[in-house]
Amino acid sequence: MTMTTQALAPCPILIGGVWSTPQTATTNKVYNPSTGEVIAEAPMCGADVVDAAVRAAEAAGQDWAETPPAERARILFRYKMLLEDHFEELARSVTREHGKTITEARGDVRRGIEVVEYACGAPELLKGEILENVARGIDCDLVKQPVGICVGICPYNFPALVPMWMYPLALACGNTFILKPSEKVPLTGIRLIELLVQAGLPKGVLNVVHGGRECVDALLTHPKVRAISFVGSSPVAKYIFETGTQHGKRVQAAGGAKNFVFVMPDADFDNSVTGLIDAAFGCAGQRCMAGSTAVTIGKAADRLLPDLARAVRAITVGPTDRDPSAKMGAVISAQHRDRVVGLVERSVQEGASLLVDGRGVKVPAHPGGFYLGPCVVDEVRAGMAIAKEEVFGPVLNVMHVEDLEGAMAMANEVHFGNGACIYTQSGKAAREFRHRIKAGMVGINVGVPAPLAYFPFSGWDYSFFGDLHLQGREGIMFYTRQKVTTSRWFRYGEGDIWHKEK
């Protein structure tokens, strides 16, 4: 069998412990963004496949819910060790189907494993509460029970991390799960679940389907699905939330962002440049925590921009799956590249200037790759499209504001609320920023303030729809229902030995 034939094998689904390839009317091509080659095809599943997955999850649900939390944790411990054993394989898979660098791919996998580690604490995380004598002779206790069948609908930008935001906690809490990886990057997700099956997860506890709108709608409306986790763009997150809740499901839907990085005149400029480079151009800007807008305060621009421009021009762009020297890879598709280029060109038409223009980047060895070089757009103003829309590409806007007060007022007008950062040596400025900025995740001299697994990924406003966020204790709360029992006993039973002795 040739490499091409192997690469084009259809992506399987997993239902009731059986991997198979469904016969669907359409498939979605999966690309290697570094080369533009098609490496797989994902079946676009419909309501019939979704229903089969739900029925398999339902059949496995009662026994899994009754499995002691310590036993569920042991499976997750074995899974964690398998993830470590296959760490480099998983990172290479991420790089191949997404296009991010191997260093970024390792981070993708590592942060996902950290969620599995957190989920291994299920016996502690699922402990309830009790209070004696809430009234005389009356006790009250609270236990956490699974919600039932849960669904994870994932984006393309973190093929390993985002799925692992979801199913490890859901399984630890005693739920069954249906995973829908992004149809653009399904291969890593499939491999993650193969390893989970190898770790000893019972059949039907986790099922995998692929698809687009039809598949998602079937998951959102199926009467036996109880909870939906989603990560993606804000318009879709809003749709997921509204549709899911209208059909009686609890929903956590993380959306897009427009994250600001403030640079004060007293900042450490070397570290500010390094932080901005990572925040804006890491993963080619395709992440909801990207620092997409630098806001220079006062005279900070005079010191920041020359060094920033030099550092951006030095970023090497290339095929991340075969060139370890490449510091930035391709974007996910040709269509997405064209959209990002269109926003950059529109910004120039609206009066901005290009401090660094990456539109003409060439990778001669791989002319079919979806490459766009890093761009720095200066003199961006609040009314421009590029200042309001999530670009999701290797583009850094630069805005100039005279003082911190005006900068915060400007940033707080934006309807997104994921992340915001400040570079400063002033404790007072940092404290005012942290207290008053309208964003759920804040960085002080940190360019990408994405929290670790034991804290919630706490986006605000148009960046999140729902009440309980992904990760941390909020994740545990999302995947459990609380049952409160109030107990009162009037007399001893007739056969009570202790009562007879009295």
Hey, which bits of 264-351 come out as E strands?
Answer: 293-297
Please report which confidence band the pLDDT of residue 93 belongs to, taking 50, 70 and 90 as the band edges: very high
> In degrees rounded to 5, what are phi and psi of residue 479?
-90, 10
Is the pLDDT higher at 473 or at 1? 473
> Is the pLDDT score of 368 beyond 50?
yes
Beta sheet of 480-488, edge-to-edge order: 129-135, 138-146, 480-488
Per-residue pLDDT at 497 exceeds 70: no
**pLDDT tens digit string along 269-328?**
999 999 999 999 999 999 999 999 999 999 999 999 999 999 999 999 999 988 888 999
Amino acid present at 421: C
Catalytic-residue membership of 288: yes
CA-based angle 291:293:299, to the nearest 5? 120
In the predicted structure, residue 6 carries a pLDDT above the cut 50? no
Looking at residue 310, which CATH number applies to its domain?
3.40.309.10
- If asked whether residues 189 and 249 sit together in one domain, one would say yes
The answer to whether 363 and 311 are in contact (CB under 8 A) is no
For residue 368, tell me if it sits in a domain: yes
Of the residues 11, 150, 173, 288, which is catalytic? 288
Are residues 235 and 298 both part of a single domain? Answer: no
> How far is Cα 479 from Cα 477, in angstroms, rounded to an integer?
6
Residues linked to residue 486 through DSSP beta bridges, in sequence order: 140
Please give the pLDDT value at position 7: 45
The 10s digit of each residue's pLDDT in 430-458 is: 999 999 999 999 999 999 999 999 999 99
pLDDT at position 491, please?
85
Question: Could you tell me the strand order of the sheet in which 225-231 lies?
Answer: 18-20, 13-15, 206-208, 176-180, 149-153, 225-231, 250-254, 464-465
d(CA 30, CA 272): 37
- State yes or no: pLDDT of 381 exceeds 50: yes
Which percentage of the chain shows pLDDT scores above 70? 97
What is the CB neighbour count within 10 angstroms for residue 62? 10
Per-residue pLDDT of 172-195, as tens digits, reads: 999 999 999 999 999 999 999 999
Residue 85 domain-assigned (yes or no): yes
Query: Which run of H or of E encompasses 400?
Result: strand 395-401
Q: Is the pLDDT of residue 4 over 80?
A: no
- Considering only CA atoms, which of 352, 406, 356, 354 is closest in space to residue 379? 352
Which of 440, 462, 435 shows the shortest CA–CA distance to 451?
440
- Strands 206-208 and 416-417 come out as unpaired
CB-count exposure of residue 500 (10 Å: 0-12, 13-18, 19+):
exposed
Q: Kindly state whether residue 493 falls inside one of the protein's structural domains.
A: no
pLDDT digits (tens, 9 = 90+) for 315-356: 999 999 888 889 999 999 999 999 999 999 999 999 999 999
- The count of other CB atoms within 10 Å of the CB of residue 223 is 9
Q: How far apart (Å, rounded) are the C-alpha atoms in residues 349 and 166?
A: 42
Q: What is the pLDDT of residue 500?
A: 58
Q: How many domains is the chain built from?
A: 2
**Together in a domain, 94 and 200:** yes
Q: Which domain holds residue 238?
A: 46-255+463-485
Total Cβ atoms within 10 A of residue 58: 15
pLDDT at 239 over 90: yes
DSSP 491: S
Mean pLDDT in the chain? 95
Q: Does residue 501 form part of some domain?
A: no
Report pLDDT for 420: 96
Question: Residue 495: pLDDT above 60?
Answer: yes
346 and 247 together in one domain:
no
Average pLDDT value for residue range 29-40 = 96
Q: Write down the pLDDT at residue 323.
A: 87
Are residues 240 and 267 part of one domain? Answer: no
Q: Are 193 and 321 in a shared domain? A: no
pLDDT at 387 over 90: yes
Distance, first Cα to last Cα, the chain:
83
Burial of 416 (0-12, 13-18, 19+ CB in 10 A): buried
Q: Which two tokens stand for residue 372?
A: 């766009």
Provide Rg for the chain, Cα atoms: 25
pLDDT tens digit sequence for 252-270: 999 999 999 999 999 999 9
* Residue 158 belongs to a domain: yes
